[in-house]
Amino acid sequence: MAADLEVPTWVEVEADPAHVRREREKARQLRSSAWWRRRVQRGVCAYCGGAFGARELTMDHVVPVARGGRSAKGNVVASCKPCNARKKLLTPAEQLLLARQAAGRASEHEGE
Ligand SMILES: [Zn+2]
Protein backbone atom coordinates (compact mmCIF):
# COMPACT_ATOMS: atom_id res chain seq x y z
CA MET A 1 0.00 0.00 0.00
CA ALA A 2 1.52 3.33 -1.07
CA ALA A 3 2.08 6.02 1.51
CA ASP A 4 -0.01 9.18 1.40
CA LEU A 5 1.34 11.52 -1.23
CA GLU A 6 1.28 15.24 -0.65
CA VAL A 7 -0.10 17.30 -3.53
CA PRO A 8 3.02 19.12 -4.72
CA THR A 9 3.06 22.87 -5.31
CA TRP A 10 3.59 22.47 -9.08
CA VAL A 11 0.19 20.83 -9.49
CA GLU A 12 -2.04 23.40 -11.14
CA VAL A 13 -5.66 23.09 -10.23
CA GLU A 14 -7.82 24.38 -13.04
CA ALA A 15 -10.95 25.21 -11.15
CA ASP A 16 -13.04 26.65 -13.99
CA PRO A 17 -16.44 26.65 -12.25
CA ALA A 18 -18.40 26.19 -15.51
CA HIS A 19 -16.32 23.13 -16.45
CA VAL A 20 -16.62 21.63 -12.96
CA ARG A 21 -20.39 22.17 -12.89
CA ARG A 22 -20.88 20.66 -16.37
CA GLU A 23 -18.68 17.61 -15.70
CA ARG A 24 -20.24 16.96 -12.27
CA GLU A 25 -23.67 16.93 -13.91
CA LYS A 26 -22.40 14.53 -16.60
CA ALA A 27 -20.96 12.31 -13.86
CA ARG A 28 -24.38 12.17 -12.20
CA GLN A 29 -25.93 10.99 -15.48
CA LEU A 30 -23.15 8.48 -16.10
CA ARG A 31 -23.59 7.08 -12.57
CA SER A 32 -27.21 6.15 -13.32
CA SER A 33 -26.34 4.48 -16.65
CA ALA A 34 -26.42 0.74 -17.31
CA TRP A 35 -22.76 0.99 -18.35
CA TRP A 36 -21.75 2.22 -14.90
CA ARG A 37 -23.94 -0.31 -13.07
CA ARG A 38 -22.26 -3.15 -14.97
CA ARG A 39 -18.87 -1.69 -14.11
CA VAL A 40 -19.65 -1.51 -10.41
CA GLN A 41 -21.16 -4.99 -10.40
CA ARG A 42 -17.80 -6.41 -11.43
CA GLY A 43 -16.73 -5.41 -7.93
CA VAL A 44 -13.10 -4.59 -8.70
CA CYS A 45 -11.22 -1.41 -7.76
CA ALA A 46 -9.39 -0.09 -10.85
CA TYR A 47 -6.41 1.04 -8.76
CA CYS A 48 -5.65 -1.68 -6.22
CA GLY A 49 -7.47 -4.55 -7.95
CA GLY A 50 -9.20 -5.46 -4.69
CA ALA A 51 -12.65 -7.07 -4.61
CA PHE A 52 -15.41 -4.86 -3.21
CA GLY A 53 -19.18 -4.82 -2.98
CA ALA A 54 -20.94 -2.54 -5.45
CA ARG A 55 -21.80 -0.12 -2.62
CA GLU A 56 -18.15 0.23 -1.61
CA LEU A 57 -17.05 1.42 -5.04
CA THR A 58 -17.16 5.07 -6.03
CA MET A 59 -16.81 6.76 -9.39
CA ASP A 60 -13.35 8.21 -9.74
CA HIS A 61 -12.11 10.52 -12.50
CA VAL A 62 -8.69 9.33 -13.70
CA VAL A 63 -7.86 12.93 -14.59
CA PRO A 64 -9.71 14.87 -11.88
CA VAL A 65 -12.45 17.28 -12.97
CA ALA A 66 -10.65 20.07 -11.11
CA ARG A 67 -7.62 19.37 -13.34
CA GLY A 68 -9.62 19.62 -16.55
CA GLY A 69 -10.75 15.97 -16.71
CA ARG A 70 -14.09 15.02 -18.21
CA SER A 71 -16.93 12.76 -17.15
CA ALA A 72 -16.49 10.39 -20.10
CA LYS A 73 -16.30 6.61 -20.17
CA GLY A 74 -12.56 6.72 -20.84
CA ASN A 75 -11.90 8.89 -17.79
CA VAL A 76 -14.01 7.34 -15.04
CA VAL A 77 -13.22 4.13 -13.18
CA ALA A 78 -14.64 2.25 -10.22
CA SER A 79 -12.45 2.92 -7.19
CA CYS A 80 -12.61 1.73 -3.59
CA LYS A 81 -12.93 4.52 -1.04
CA PRO A 82 -9.36 4.31 0.34
CA CYS A 83 -7.85 4.52 -3.19
CA ASN A 84 -10.12 7.41 -4.09
CA ALA A 85 -9.15 9.31 -0.93
CA ARG A 86 -5.43 8.67 -1.41
CA LYS A 87 -5.48 9.90 -4.99
CA LYS A 88 -6.84 13.37 -4.15
CA LEU A 89 -6.19 15.74 -7.03
CA LEU A 90 -3.28 13.85 -8.58
CA THR A 91 -3.35 12.07 -11.92
CA PRO A 92 -2.05 8.46 -11.98
CA ALA A 93 1.07 9.63 -13.85
CA GLU A 94 1.83 12.17 -11.13
CA GLN A 95 1.32 9.53 -8.45
CA LEU A 96 3.89 7.28 -10.14
CA LEU A 97 6.28 10.17 -10.52
CA LEU A 98 5.99 11.20 -6.87
CA ALA A 99 6.29 7.63 -5.61
CA ARG A 100 9.50 7.26 -7.62
CA GLN A 101 10.88 10.54 -6.34
CA ALA A 102 10.10 9.51 -2.78
CA ALA A 103 11.80 6.13 -3.33
CA GLY A 104 14.83 7.90 -4.85
CA ARG A 105 15.18 10.18 -1.84
CA ALA A 106 14.95 7.20 0.51
CA SER A 107 17.77 5.32 -1.25
CA GLU A 108 19.99 8.45 -1.33
CA HIS A 109 19.83 8.61 2.43
CA GLU A 110 20.77 4.95 2.85
CA GLY A 111 24.47 5.62 2.13
CA GLU A 112 24.77 8.44 4.69
ZN1 LIG B 1 -8.61 0.33 -4.33
Report the separation in Å between the CA atom of 111 and the middle of ligand 1, taken as the mean of its atom positions. Answer: 34
Residue 3 inside a domain? The answer is no
pLDDT per residue as tens digits for the range 77-99: 999 999 988 877 788 788 888 88
The pLDDT tens digits of the residues spanning 22-73 come to 999 999 999 999 999 999 999 999 999 999 999 999 999 998 898 889 999 9
7 domain-assigned: no
| 63 belongs to a structural domain | yes
With respect to residue 93, please indicate whether it lies within any of the assigned structural domains. yes
| Rounded distance from Cα 92 to ligand 1 centre (Å) | 13
Range of the domain at 59: 17-110
According to the model, what pLDDT value does residue 5 have? 64
Distance CA 19, CA 26 (A): 11
Q: 85 lies in a domain?
A: yes
For residue 5, is it within any domain? no
Determine the residue type at 7. V
CATH number of the domain at 25, please: 1.10.30.50
Domain count, the chain: 1
The one-letter code for the residue type at 80 is C
1 inside domain: no
Does residue 88 contact residue 79 with C-beta atoms inside 8 Å?
A: no
> Helix, strand, or coil here: 35?
helix
Residues surrounding ion ligand 1 at CB below 5 Å: 45, 47-48, 80, 83
**Within a domain: residue 12?**
no
Report the alpha-carbon distance of residue 12 to residue 90 in Å, rounded: 10
